[in-house]
Structure 1
Amino acid sequence: MRYALYFSPAPDSPWWQAGASWLGRDPMHAGKIPQTHIAGMPDILLSQLTSEARRYGFHATLKAPFNLLEGFQEADLIQMASAFAQVQPVISIREMQIRMMGNFLAIRPQGDEAEINALAMRCVSYFDLLRRAPDAAYLAKRRHAGLSARQEALLQQWGYPYTEEEYRFHLTLSDDLLDVDADAQYALRKAAEQQFSRLLDNTPLDIDALTIFREERPGAPLNFWMRFPFQARVQQKSLPATGRLYFVVGPSGAGKDTLLHWVKDNLPTNAALEFAQRTITRPAHDSEAHEVLNQEAYWQAAAAGHFCMQWQANGLCYGIRRNIEAKLKCGQDVIINGSREYLPQLRQLFPDVRIIWIMADPEQIRQRMEKRQRESGAALLNRLDRGLKFTVPDDQDIICIDNSGPIHVAGQKLLKIFAKE
């Protein structure tokens, strides 16, 4: 499945209807419709000259089609698209014209395109987190068309050569016309001008939404999937604010799980906090609603890139699935029950992480671990010994909370940290 991030006019708008009629396909309803007839041109020729444009549908590309990177789901794309659209202003294009763009016929804006280009680049960069790197066949196809050194660099960086300063906003009306004779090109252009004349003269084109088209299999038509109207009331031209990542650590028995459960139960109803579910190679247990995987399944998921964090402790493997990266991109704060040993790698991957170190009196720790009955004998002793190996680093960025007393005391402190930042 590939996903394309487009601008396309609203399906009930005259722009959409004119474009669908010109190409002979309505991507909203996934079917062919009668195509515009051009006097003096056989219908089969017009169909041939617009076959690839028809497959992609009437649109302007903001981010070219891509596959989702392993570890991300459609739900992540939807959440990010919604967050992106909420902070984008509508851009109204007053003047459009039909002209050749290289060897293609297209509808292009007249005048300054800086706002449009900036919108496209915001879209390219913001959603790149979700993009799987293109395969060799795709790269070869792009290079076959002949790329400049700069376009090759953009292809490597963004998976598409026509981004940044190479980007040109356009709604494609034809396939490559290089080998089409001049008379047919002229007839095609005059017919397009007639098809869109009323709109070009009287109807501004409002870039007012992000639309996602889907390609269900290679070579299949791209169909309308979801549309996200732009909602910003001012020309802020921004991206969603990034959420904050909290990584809560502490020795076994310090009461991290209990403390985080208390915080979750006592959050204000409007709090936008996500408690990340951990994947653990441990059987299900009442103390935590983690995702259970056996060793083989865990390492298969890790090799496929499904985790953005992974560590091992006390003979178990832990992972945090990549969807938290999408949540952070959308401005959602994320809390992770983590490991002290993982802190060096964590800071390399997430430099802005906020680390919260939960401490408790050693005797309290021993009593709690015996009471929870998760381990006994040598396993319990190993847990206790491991807790003594790690001390709080001399680091001003680490927030320490003593959880030796009643749970609500430390819980209130943690709530204030999440609320005040």
Structure 2
Amino acid sequence: MNRQPGRLFYVMGPSGAGKDSFLQLVRTRLPAELLVAHRYITRAAFAGGENHVELSLPEFQRRRELGLFALDWQANGHCYALGCELDSWLASGLEVMVNGSRACLPQARERFGERLVPVLVTVDGETLGKRLRARGRENEAEIRLRLARARAHDEGLPDSVWRLDNSGSLQQTLQQFEQYRRGERACD
């Protein structure tokens, strides 16, 4: 049987926008429809953080040398990657969702072509600032830089990006995503 290649939903957004919460909701609500792929990260896996595969830097570098990553990048002092298992999943006709990087979107487009569906999770600036402050990971100057970077990245994204406003409930964000999937919503 010849299957159509699946789509890769490439979720992006600023830190604090709720990407991890959105991905977890998709993982629990749509398991029969979408696979949510794990990222490989040179950061400790800890409770409450992103569900990822923790690798040491030497492990990461070895896997990269062996060609086991479909995409990889560096950000915030860590190395991130999406595994080459994505290729076989997509070739099998499966729909897959990943936590991507806005900066790596051009490489993702080149690698996955028409199968790639960029999805931006956003929140208004005030909500984003409150969320970043509540996390307590950064000082005020770092938060201002994150807010400015979020505005700059969002403005430079192509019109084809599916934009999900996560300022309300996660359920509302999931409904927006489902509207796009059904073709009931045009790109903003």
The TM tier, using the shorter chain, reads 0.7 to 0.9
Give the deviation of 1:289 after TM superposition.
1.4
Q: Percent identity?
A: 33
> Given the superposition, is the C-alpha separation of residues 259 and 394 from structure 1 closer, same or farther in structure 2, using an over 3 Å criterion?
closer
CA change 1:299–1:252 in 2 (3 A) is: same
Q: Distance in 1 between matches of 2:8 and 2:39?
A: 15
Contact 1:309 1:321 in 2 (8 A): yes
Q: Please state how far the C-alpha of 1:265 moved relative to its aligned partner.
A: 2.2
Asked whether the 8 Å contact 1:314–1:383 carries over to 2, the reply is: no
Q: How many angstroms apart in 2 are the aligned matches of 1:306 and 1:381?
A: 36
Report the Cα offset of residue 385 of structure 1.
4.5
Q: Tell me the residue number matched to 2:167.
A: 404
Given that 1:263 and 1:414 are in contact with CA atoms closer than 8 Å, whether structure 2 keeps it comes out as no
Alignment of 1:245-394 (within 5 A): 245-267=8-30, 271-285=32-46, 286-352=48-114, 353-373=116-136, 375-377=137-139, 380=143, 382-393=145-156
Higher relative contact order (CA 8 A, sep 6+): 2
Larger Rg: 1
Aligned length: 180
The 3-state SS of whatever aligns with 2:67 is coil
Aligned-CA RMSD value: 2.0
| Alpha-carbon distance in structure 2 between the residues aligned to 1:263 and 1:372 | 23
- 3-state DSSP class of the match of 1:390? helix
Moved over 4 A (4+): 378-382
**Within 5 A, what are the aligned runs for 1:57-206?**
87=1
Residue ranges of structure 2 left out of the alignment (5+ in a row): 184-188
Quick check: 1:364–1:404 contact (8 Å CA) kept in 2? Answer: yes
Q: Which residues of structure 1 form unaligned runs of 5+? A: 1-86, 88-238
CA 1:304–1:265: 2 relative to 1, 3 Å: same
Distance 1:409 1:252 in 2: 19
* C-alpha contact 2:12 2:120 (8 A) present in aligned 1: yes
Task: Name the CA distance, whole Å, in 2 between partners of 1:334 and 1:276.
Answer: 7
Q: Output the CA distance in 2 between the equivalents of 1:363 and 1:247.
A: 25
Whether the aligned pair in 2 keeps the contact of 1:280 and 1:317 (CA below 8 Å) is yes
Deviations 1:270-295 (A, max 9, x none): x3311010001111122221000122
Name the amino acid aligned to 1:313: A
Kept after mapping to 1: 8 A contact 2:27/2:35: no
Hey, what's the Cα distance between the residues in 2 that align with 1:289 and 1:395? 28
Show the counterpart of 1:416. 179
1:272 alignment partner, SS class:
coil
- Residues 300, 371 of structure 1: alpha-carbon distance in 2 compared, 3 angstrom cutoff: same
* CA positional deviation for 1:307: 0.2
Number of the residue aligned with 2:186: none
SS at match of 2:155: coil
Distance in 1 (CA, whole Å) between partners of 2:109 and 2:54 is 26
Q: CA deviation at 1:388?
A: 3.6
